[in-house]
């Protein structure tokens, strides 16, 4: 990564040592400018700090970190109740070329190699399982070169490096497009759906979801009528999948069906809904599932009001409500116009 060196800001982190409710992760993926944004976009990530690690010198700066044997890294502080270490691994692999032992994309040399630095035995187990799954997937033309090693001391980079993509969007975009990173990532990962968490997805979901949310979405359960979160919710906004966050329904299509469950006349995005025949309960019904997460949502019936005549009877436990005033900050700004 080419850039003019400035004075070091000293070893001051964006977020201090992790407390009992947070954990840390440390990844090297070449230019640390390009590694911050993907992780900061994850719900549950508290901070991402660019820095240096792996060398033999103390207090490295941008001018001398390479001479001391350090490489560019990002340290992540996250809430494991909201985002798992496995999900961080899943994001990490998709930002790098795992087969490149000499750097990353246009940035060459030891300073830009990739690595997973682990803080404990569980992180090592998940990282090794994730790497093994990637190697066995067959999507890479060469062996994985990314090493998994114990985490060394971490030294934060200068202030001007932190959140560089946000502070200097034009220069960042110019660098990123010219580095070949995006083109290479698209070639490798475009259209590839591969779980690289290194863990059983069901186990991760059990940690993230409440008991009723897991029972409904993963075990086709049904929550009690009139005793659920959204059956009587009258706020304006969107209802998204509790697992994946994909938009499913709008308050504009919600109506009081008298059943005690949230009911809608139609989906917000028809392509995000999948219907299946359900013969599990004394007859034939039409089950409704989300496309991306494959969450069980509820059922659809033909006794609804106009204009569709349909009633999508959905479990609150399968949904997360995003009010209108928070659509933009939640990444759903394209739907704001529906409520104007």
Q: What is the pLDDT of residue 20?
A: 55
Domain boundary residue, one of 200, 235, 254:
200
Q: Are strands 147-150 and 103-104 parallel, antiparallel or unpaired?
A: unpaired
254 with 176, same domain: the answer is no
Q: Count CB neighbours of 56 within 10 A.
A: 10
Give yes or no for residue 311 having a pLDDT over 80: yes
Q: What is the pLDDT of residue 207?
A: 81
d(CA 231, CA 313): 10
Domain boundary residue, one of 174, 200, 226:
200
320 with 182, same domain: the answer is no
Q: What is the pLDDT of residue 18?
A: 44
Q: What is the pLDDT of residue 15?
A: 39
195 with 221, same domain: the answer is no
Q: Pick the closest to residue 248 from 306, 204, 209, 300 (CA basis).
A: 300
- Whether residue 6 lies inside any domain: the answer is no
Confidence of residue 42 (pLDDT cuts 50, 70, 90): very high
172 with 42, same domain: the answer is yes
pLDDT in tens, 160-190: 999 998 899 999 988 988 898 888 888 888 8
Cα angle at 74 between 73 and 75, to 5 degrees? 120
pLDDT in tens, 193-230: 777 887 666 777 888 899 999 999 999 999 999 999 99
- Helix, strand, coil fractions of the chain, as percent rounded to 5: 30, 25, 45
- Whether residue 119 lies inside any domain: the answer is yes
- Whether residue 220 lies inside any domain: the answer is yes
- Whether residue 114 lies inside any domain: the answer is yes
Give yes or no for residue 191 having a pLDDT over 80: no
The CATH number of the domain where 253 resides is what?
A: 2.170.150.20
- Whether residue 13 lies inside any domain: the answer is no
- Structural domain that includes position 322: 209-339
Q: What is the pLDDT of residue 201?
A: 67
Domain boundary residue, one of 200, 220, 248:
200
- Whether 30 and 38 have beta carbons less than 8 Å apart is answered as no
Beta-carbon-side half-sphere exposure of residue 113 (alpha carbons within 13 Å): 19
d(CA 239, CA 295): 14
Give yes or no for residue 292 having a pLDDT over 70: yes
- Whether residue 173 lies inside any domain: the answer is yes
193 with 213, same domain: the answer is no
The CATH number of the domain where 95 resides is what?
A: 3.30.1060.10
Number of domains the chain is built from: 2
181 with 215, same domain: the answer is no
Give yes or no for residue 9 having a pLDDT over 60: no
Confidence of residue 13 (pLDDT cuts 50, 70, 90): very low
321 with 271, same domain: the answer is yes
**Active-site hit among 25, 31, 34, 212:** 31
237 with 102, same domain: the answer is no
- Whether residue 8 lies inside any domain: the answer is no
β partners of residue 313: 263, 299
Q: What percent of the chain has pLDDT over 90?
A: 73
Q: Count CB neighbours of 60 within 10 A.
A: 23
Q: Based on the number of CB atoms within 10 Å of its own CB, is 287 exposed (0-12), middle (13-18) or buried (19 or more)?
A: middle
d(CA 238, CA 240): 6
Active site residue 34: no
Mean pLDDT of 286-297: 94
158 with 278, same domain: the answer is no
pLDDT in tens, 133-165: 999 888 898 999 999 999 999 999 999 999 998
258 with 159, same domain: the answer is no
258 with 330, same domain: the answer is yes
Q: What percent of the chain has pLDDT over 70?
A: 93
d(CA 166, CA 238): 28
321 with 250, same domain: the answer is yes
Mean pLDDT for the chain overall:
89
- Whether residue 269 lies inside any domain: the answer is yes
**Active-site hit among 313, 314, 318, 322:** 313
């Amino acid at each position: 990564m080419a850039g003019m060196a400035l004075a070091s800001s000293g070893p001051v982190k964006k977020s201090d040592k992790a407390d009992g409710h947070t954990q840390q992760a440390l990844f090297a993926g070449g230019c640390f400018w390009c590694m911050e944004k993907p992780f900061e976009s994850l719900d549950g990530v508290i901070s991402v700090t660019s820095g240096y690690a792996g060398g033999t010198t103390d207090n490295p700066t941008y001018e001398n970190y390479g001479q001391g044997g350090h490489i560019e890294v990002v340290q992540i502080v996250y809430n494991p109740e909201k985002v798992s270490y496995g999900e961080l691994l899943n994001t990490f692999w998709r930002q790098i070329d795992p087969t490149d032992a000499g750097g990353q994309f246009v940035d060459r040399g030891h300073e830009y190699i990739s690595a997973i630095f682990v803080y404990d035995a569980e992180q090592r187990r998940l990282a090794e399982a994730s790497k093994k799954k990637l190697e066995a997937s067959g999507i890479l033309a060469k062996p994985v070169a990314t090493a998994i090693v114990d985490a060394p001391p971490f030294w934060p980079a200068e202030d001007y490096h932190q959140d560089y993509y946000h502070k200097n969007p034009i220069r960042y975009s110019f660098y990123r497009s010219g580095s070949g990173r995006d083109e290479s990532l698209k070639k490798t990962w475009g259209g590839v759906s591969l779980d690289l968490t290194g863990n059983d997805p069901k186990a991760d979901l059990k940690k993230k979801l409440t008991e009723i949310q897991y029972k409904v979405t993963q075990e086709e359960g049904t929550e009690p009528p009139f005793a659920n979160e959204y059956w009587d919710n009258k706020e304006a906004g969107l209802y998204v999948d509790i697992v994946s966050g994909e938009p499913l329904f709008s308050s504009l299509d919600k109506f009081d069906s008298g059943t005690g469950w949230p009911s809608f006349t139609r989906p917000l995005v028809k392509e995000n809904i999948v219907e299946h025949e359900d013969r599990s309960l004394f007859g034939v019904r039409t089950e409704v599932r989300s496309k991306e997460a494959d969450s069980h949502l509820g059922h659809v019936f033909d006794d609804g009001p106009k204009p569709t005549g349909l009633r999508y009877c959905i479990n609150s436990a399968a949904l997360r409500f995003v009010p209108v005033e928070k659509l933009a900050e939640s990444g759903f700004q394209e739907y704001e116009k529906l409520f104007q």
